[in-house]
Structure 1
Amino acid sequence: MTTRLAPPLTLEDFLKLPYIEDSPAWEYVDGVAIQKPIPKARHSILQKHLVAEVDGSTTDYTALPELRCTFSGRSIVPDIAVIAWDRIRLSETGEPEDDFTAAPDWIIEILSPGQRVSRVIDNILHCLKHGSKLGWMVDLDDYSVLIFAPQQEPEICRGDRQLKVIDGIQLALTPQQIFVLQYTTPAAWP
């Protein structure tokens, strides 16, 4: 008996699928469409707070939640994509173009329950290979942040250890402060 596997989906065909922008978003990796898990409350609150923290610490970059980034054969939707303003293409009318076709400068992923760690790391490594300067994988259950940088071994950070950020962002955060953010109101942020 012979089993035939369906041919892999092309990136072009994936981008034409009518449901890929449904919530939660779909990603395209290695010929396969994969739906991200639905974020839970802790994830969403931390994501919201991190976007505000990054945006409040720079005028050169913007932090964008759930932005589709399609580049180098993949289409991914990081929890937070931090991108230099001058890398966002503008239309003839001066508005940002909808499609972002490059790796973000900094990718931040917050693990969701049931999410495969290897897939998250694979996306971060893909971004670093194609121009990202930094990647964070935030683990809510372990209270840790795994830091990825080009040409360096990953670093696990916990407690009051200062987290690496990219040049041009004046942000001083520790994992301890990050995990406190998800339980505080904006007035209490560091």
Structure 2
Amino acid sequence: MTALTLNLNSVIKLTREQFYQLCQENPDLKLERNAQGELIIMPPTGGETGKSNSHINAQIWFWNDQNQLGEVFDSSTGFTLPSGADRSPDVAWVEKSRWDALTKEQREKFIPVCPDFVIEILSPNDSLIKTQKKMQEYIENGCRLGWLINRKKQEVEIYRPGQDVEVLKSPQILEGEDTLPGFVDKLFRPRLGIKL
């Protein structure tokens, strides 16, 4: 099952609060909204994708727990980007000063910032082109580093502001660079299904 996109703009243009309420009233649906206001209904992931997501999220969480440089979020967290899009990356990290600047109310709803770091893991039914566009959207909205993990092709696409996308084939390690200083995942490949 692939993601479905609904264009309701000719019927109703949802405000940020209405979209948030729609998500709260339909907790069994994973919903995103692009900058044009179209609703995207995301299907659940399969076991391998979910396992990979859990492993990499745990690695980022452990790194952050040791360094205390920000906050880590899972795929159920909504972010309202400056463009107006509402997205839920598979893994997200927000630098501490940006998180601390948010009010309690802002923290309770969809977070009104673009994460500093995101990971999207391509599910077998995901569109590569649409996911690549989503990664570009994160970068255009202020994300400093993004990884698109394509288990099927054994690739990781690395997104950085002002640079061409770097594609790594069966990488030995992934590094957090200046965004996640000191983060190195040497056990990355076996956990995410990337093989030699």
The TM-score bracket by the shorter chain reads: 0.7 to 0.9
Q: What is aligned with 1:178?
A: 188
CA RMSD of aligned residues (A): 2.6
Q: What is aligned with 1:91?
A: 104
User: TM-score, structure 2 length as denominator?
Assistant: 0.77
1:65 aligns with 2:71: no
Matching residue's letter, 1:79: D
Q: What's the offset of the Cα at 1:9? A: 4.9
Q: Give the Cα separation in 1 of the matches to 2:177 and 2:14.
A: 30
Q: Give the Cα separation in 2 of the matches to 1:165 and 1:153.
A: 17
Q: Give the Cα separation in 2 of the matches to 1:26 and 1:98.
A: 14
CA contact (8 A) 2:121 2:148 kept: yes
Which one has the bigger helix percentage? Answer: 2
For structure 1, the residue ranges without an aligned partner over 5 or more in a row are 184-190
Q: What's the offset of the Cα at 1:50? A: 0.8
The percent of aligned pairs where both chains have the same amino acid is 22
Q: Give the Cα separation in 2 of the matches to 1:69 and 1:20.
A: 18
For structure 2, the residue ranges without an aligned partner over 5 or more in a row are 1-7
1:45-84 matches, within 5 Å, as 45-58=51-64, 59-66=68-75, 67-71=77-81, 72-84=83-95
CA contact (8 A) 1:106 1:166 kept: no
Against the structure 1 CA distance between its residues 179 and 161, is the aligned structure 2 distance closer, same or farther, given a 3 Å change threshold?
closer
Larger-gyration structure (1/2): 1
Q: Give the Cα separation in 1 of the matches to 2:140 and 2:26.
A: 25
Q: Give the Cα separation in 1 of the matches to 2:80 and 2:49.
A: 23
Matching residue's letter, 2:71: T
User: TM-score, structure 1 length as denominator?
Assistant: 0.80
Against the structure 1 CA distance between its residues 143 and 54, is the aligned structure 2 distance closer, same or farther, given a 3 Å change threshold?
same
Q: How many residues align?
A: 175
Q: Give the Cα separation in 1 of the matches to 2:190 and 2:153.
A: 14
1:124-143 matches, within 5 Å, as 124-143=135-154
Q: Give the Cα separation in 1 of the matches to 2:192 and 2:26.
A: 26
